[in-house]
């Protein structure tokens, strides 16, 4: 008995083909607004993204939300099989990791505030390294004496750690579940909710401030 022919795969729409190419060639996650500008007026961008996500649902790469946009990433279940095939990411020192965590959870934060939270002086090298990786940026200047620079995270930080927004950072319960916080915590201990927009006491940087770090 002859086998029934396999049903043909659905032909992707032209909008989906173009959006797929735009996402694939982009150096950073592509936002819906970016896609809408390239796909033309009247295009149902969420429907196009859903079409692409469905087409890649069982593939080795999937369409993923990251840093407020969309990007192709390796399917999560293939991670163990791919260990050792990708270049090793740049290793951060303990001081740089602590500084990065403080910036992520307390942003906008000044260098003096980072040192107060860590309890030790923060070397210029740690902040320089985080700025070099592109995970930390200069946000603005605090409206206090001396007008110190404030630091915050970048879309590249969100993309690197698989987050769509800073609000997706693990909370206290999640950190406990991951074993990152153990033992008895001091009374009133909490994990702060990071801020994404400008604060009431924060001014945007002037162009000449871009090279400043103090």
CB neighbours of 11 closer than 8 A, spacing ≥ 6? none
* DSSP letters for the chain: -PPPPPPPPPPPPHHHHHHHHHHHH-SSPBPHHHHHHHH-TT--HHHHHHHHHHHTTTSSEEEEEETTEEEEEE-GGGHHHHTTTSPPPPPPPHHHHHHHHHHHHH-SEEHHHHHHHHTSPPPHHHHHHHHHHTSEEEEEEESSTT--EEEEE-HHHHHHTT-SSGGGS--HHHHHHTTSS-SPPPTT--------S--TTEEEPPGGGTT---
Q: 134: exposed, middle or buried (C-beta count within 10 Å: 0-12, 13-18, 19+)?
A: middle
Task: Indicate left, alpha or beta for 134 from its phi (over 0: left) and psi (-120 to 50: alpha).
Answer: left
pLDDT of residue 192: 59
CATH of 94-209, one of 1.10.10.10, 1.10.3720.10, 3.90.1150.10, 3.40.50.300: 1.10.10.10
- Tell me the whole-structure pTM to 2 decimals: 0.60
Q: How far apart are CA 16 and CA 42, in angstroms?
A: 14
Cβ neighbours around 71 below 10 Å, total: 19
d(C-alpha 138, C-alpha 25), whole Å:
28
Segment-wise mean pLDDT, segments of 10 residues, the chain, 214 residues: 50 83 91 91 91 90 89 82 61 82 86 85 82 90 88 88 82 59 51 56 68 52
Predicted pLDDT of residue 196: 52
* pLDDT, position 160: 82
Q: Please name the CATH architecture into which domain 14-77 falls.
A: Orthogonal Bundle (1.10)
What is the model's pLDDT at position 208? Answer: 61
Domain parsing of the chain, residue ranges: 14-77, 94-209
172 Cβ neighbours under 8 A, 6+ residues apart: 181, 189, 190, 191
Could you write out the DSSP letters of every residue in 119-154?
Answer: TSPPPHHHHHHHHHHTSEEEEEEESSTT--EEEEE-
Q: What is the pLDDT of residue 9?
A: 46
Burial bucket for residue 32 (CB in 10 Å: 0-12, 13-18, 19+): middle
């Amino acid at each position: 008995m002859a086998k029934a022919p396999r049903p043909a795969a659905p032909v992707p729409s032209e909008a989906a083909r173009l959006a797929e190419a735009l996402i694939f060639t982009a150096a950073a996650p592509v936002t819906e607004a970016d896609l809408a500008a390239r796909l033309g007026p009247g295009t149902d961008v969420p429907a196009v993204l859903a079409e692409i996500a469905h087409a890649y649902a069982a593939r080795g790469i999937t369409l993923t939300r990251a840093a407020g946009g969309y990007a192709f990433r390796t399917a999560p279940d293939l991670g163990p099989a791919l260990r050792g095939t990708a270049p090793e990411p740049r290793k951060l020192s303990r001081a740089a990791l602590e500084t990065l965590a403080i910036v992520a959870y307390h942003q906008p934060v000044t260098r003096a505030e980072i040192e107060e939270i860590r309890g030790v002086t923060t070397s210029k090298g740690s902040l320089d390294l985080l700025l070099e990786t592109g995970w930390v940026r200069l946000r603005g200047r605090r409206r206090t004496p001396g007008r110190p620079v404030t630091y915050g995270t970048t879309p590249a930080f969100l993309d690197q750690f698989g987050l769509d927004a800073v609000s997706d950072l693990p909370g206290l319960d999640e950190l406990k579940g991951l074993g990152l916080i153990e033992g008895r915590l001091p009374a009133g201990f909490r994990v702060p909710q990071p801020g994404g927009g400008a604060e009431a006491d924060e001014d945007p940087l002037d162009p000449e401030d871009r090279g400043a770090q103090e």
